[in-house]
Amino acid sequence: MFGLNKKDTSLLIIVGLLTLLAPFILNPFPEGSAMAQFNAGYPDLMQRFVIFGIFAIGFNILFGLTGYLSFGHAAFLGVGSYSAVWMFKLLSYNIIPAIALSVVVAGVFSLLIGYVSLRRSGIYFSILTLAFAQMSFALAYSVLSNPKFNLTNGETGLQVYADDPQILQGANSPDLPHLFGLPMRATYTMDVGAWSFDFNAGYYFCAIVMMVVFYLSIRIFRSPFGMMLRAVKSNQQRMNYTGLNSKPYTLAAFVISGMYAGLAGGLMAAMDPLAGAERMQWTASGEVVLMTILGGTGTLIGPVLGAGFIKYFENIFSKINDSVLHSWFAFLPDGLEDAVVFVIHPFIGKGWHLTLGILFMLVVIYLPGGLVEGGQRLLNRIKRKKPKTDDATSGKTEPAE
């Protein structure tokens, strides 16, 4: 179906169903119960899951296929956000022109940065992209924000003001980002018994966009072009002597992944019409690297899993505090309760980075293929427990799942 083989089609359908039903899946605990804080089904977080999913899917096209590790992709995310907010300021709050410009500007920007950075490979390439991203950050933070020429509005961040032209803004259209009149904030809440589920317009818009670009990434992975990108990673010397110029292939992958990042940045602004320089900082670039590696570099679904995993940690683990812990361990004798809380304390709340760091190390050391490899091993183990007749061959590892 859709020009995909059976396995890829079922992957696409499964991911489609999961994103469609996410408001249910992510809110398994009843409102007000002790476990409710582990619910992730609120619009804000769900939007972030899919937006960072898009960012990571694009990053994986460059890093997963060609092996070129960029440490500057947040620059394209930021550029996308700024472009979108400028469209809001100049034209209207309709998100379509905003997102279109985000992708185009990020594409042009990544063409320039990619062209220069790809003169080197390996660690030098990574350093060049990092340098470019930090330069972009500095430009956005201060240089391009002065009274004479204010492109980014510096520290405050770029936003829409009442005296902005907004030449296409209709009299009746909502005064916040919308899709032809449908506000992105619009949310329908469904209450079922003790449960509560949010269906948010912005989330579903992002989810549809993610499904489209996820589909495109599968097409790229399975195309002759995708095979050439894997050849770049495998042996550039052989490629060169086989009549192929590896430079334009790598540059094309760089620009595609830059456009994915720009799209993610545009969507971020479409959910919340604000763009700040911190979005371009190197920590943001590092985050997408972590997402991709954690989920499974070079696999189709890995980056999405990695993005979801990290965003979940960032938003859920960071909210657990000592009083929550005390309520969990209240059944223990007082002295023991304090001791347990004392031990766990560094890993929660602001310490979630520590937990994430440890998990990341464990994954890199024991599961170099990331969460996808973990899932495969688990599946294989389950399969082996239930002895079937002919699964002896399916135990082989298969890449690009």
Partner 1 sequence: MAILKVKDVSKRFGGLKALTNVNLDVEENSVHAIIGPNGAGKSTLLNCLVGKLMPDTGAVLFDNASVLGLEPFQINQMGISRVFQTPEIFGELTVIENMLIPIFAMRDGVFRMHAYETIANEKAIVEQAEAMLEEMNMADKREMHAASLSRGDKRRLEIGMCLSQNPRLLLLDEPTAGMARADTNNTIDLLKQIKDERDITIAIIEHDMHVVFSLAERITVLAQGTPLVEDTPENIRGNPKVREAYLGEAA
Residues in the site for partner 1, rule: CB under 8 A?
A: 3, 5, 219-220, 222-228, 230-231, 233-235, 237-245, 248-249, 252, 256
Nearer to partner 1 among residue 119 and residue 238 (C-beta):
238
Token pair recorded at residue 92: 């209207």
Contact 249, 228 (CB under 8 A): yes
- Cβ 243 to partner 1, closest distance in Å? 4
Nearer to partner 1 among residue 239 and residue 340 (C-beta):
239
Nearer to partner 1 among residue 287 and residue 401 (C-beta):
401
Nearer to partner 1 among residue 185 and residue 230 (C-beta):
230
- Cβ 1 to partner 1, closest distance in Å? 13
Residues 9 and 2: their CA atoms lie apart, in Å, by: 8
Smallest CA-to-CA distance from 71 within 156, 129, 114 is with: 129
Nearer to partner 1 among residue 230 and residue 377 (C-beta):
230
- Cβ 170 to partner 1, closest distance in Å? 36
Nearer to partner 1 among residue 230 and residue 326 (C-beta):
230
- Cβ 395 to partner 1, closest distance in Å? 15
- Cβ 368 to partner 1, closest distance in Å? 14
Contact 116, 288 (CB under 8 A): no
- Cβ 221 to partner 1, closest distance in Å? 10
- Cβ 345 to partner 1, closest distance in Å? 44
Nearer to partner 1 among residue 245 and residue 283 (C-beta):
245
- Cβ 113 to partner 1, closest distance in Å? 19
Nearer to partner 1 among residue 222 and residue 326 (C-beta):
222
